[in-house]
Amino acid sequence: MMKDDSCLEKMIENIVVKMKNSLLHRIELLEAKLFERESENVNLKKELDKLQTELQTEKVTNSEKLSKEKYNNREALYELEQYTRINNVVFHGLKDTDKNETAEQTMRLLTDAVNQHTGIQLCRTDIDYGHRLGYFEND
């Protein structure tokens, strides 16, 4: 029986060695995969940091450009408003006679007042448009 025990022991030992080698091989493979993943994570973190820096730089650049464009647009709007008002004339003192006065009636009243009180001969065609400002006041 001793011989059988020795054979059995040898067989068990071989099985254990094979299992151990198989497990060691699997562990080595898993360690290699883990190392690859860690390296990949490090590279991805570096890339993420780089992209975040680029994004922050772009945000600052865009903010500066937007502020400059906003300022330029504000200046252009101001100049445009000034240009559109260049031919505007405001007259004070024309009495309100009709709450439903049309633009045509307002321009006729204005030309009559200018012609009557100044030496200027103003025609209706000299005026592009006329309207009253403020609220109707009937004295």
The predicted structure's pLDDT at residue 139? 63
pTM of the model: 0.45
CB 121 within 8 A of CB 115: yes
Pick the more confident residue, 41 or 129: 41
The predicted structure's pLDDT at residue 2? 63
pLDDT digits (tens, 9 = 90+) for 65-98: 999 999 999 999 999 888 777 777 888 888 888 8
The domain spans of the chain are 1-86, 88-139
Tokens for 81? 């408003």
